[in-house]
């Protein structure tokens, strides 16, 4: 299933949100030839960054919840098996 989520933000709102989530308009990298730090413009737009952040959040949340449900089912099955064994032995 593909889930599409949209948000209508002004440029200023998107930029503020992206910066709060860790986006910067420049990136720093090390130049191994000169052993210096080089600052370059961030090639990722604010919109791309926010899209990636929230896509990852949804995927992580879905994975976490799926695992919780799976573990709960396993625990319920284990409890049912324990009860069945107790009844058989009694």
Number of domains in the chain: 1
CA distance 43 to 37: 17
Domain assignment present for residue 70? The answer is yes
Q: According to the model, what pLDDT value does residue 54 have?
A: 96
- Answer yes or no: are the C-beta atoms of 15 and 5 closer than 8 Å: no
Domain assignment present for residue 61? The answer is yes
CA distance 10 to 16: 10
Over residues 13-39, mean pLDDT: 95
Over residues 15-37, mean pLDDT: 95
Closest C-alpha among 49, 42, 13, 11 to residue 26 = 42
Q: According to the model, what pLDDT value does residue 51 have?
A: 96
Is a pLDDT exceeding 90 seen at residue 90? Answer: no
Is a pLDDT exceeding 90 seen at residue 1? Answer: no
CA distance 19 to 26: 11
Domain assignment present for residue 85? The answer is yes
Range of the domain at 65: 44-90
Domain assignment present for residue 72? The answer is yes
Which structure tokens are listed for 19?
Answer: 């910066």
Domain assignment present for residue 27? The answer is no
Q: According to the model, what pLDDT value does residue 42 have?
A: 97
Q: What is the pLDDT of residues 33-89, one digit of tens each?
A: 988 999 999 999 999 999 999 999 999 999 999 999 999 999 999 999 999 999 999
Closest C-alpha among 43, 44, 58 to residue 7 = 58
């Amino acid at each position: 299933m593909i889930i599409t989520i949209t948000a209508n933000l002004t440029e200023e709102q998107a930029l503020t949100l992206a910066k709060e989530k860790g986006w910067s308009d420049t990136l720093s990298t090390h130049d191994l030839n000169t052993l210096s730090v080089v600052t370059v413009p961030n090639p990722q737009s604010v919109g791309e960054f926010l899209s990636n952040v929230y896509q990852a959040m949804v995927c992580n949340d879905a994975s976490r919840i799926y695992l919780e449900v799976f573990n709960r089912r396993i625990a319920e099955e284990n409890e049912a098996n324990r009860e069945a064994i107790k009844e058989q032995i009694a």
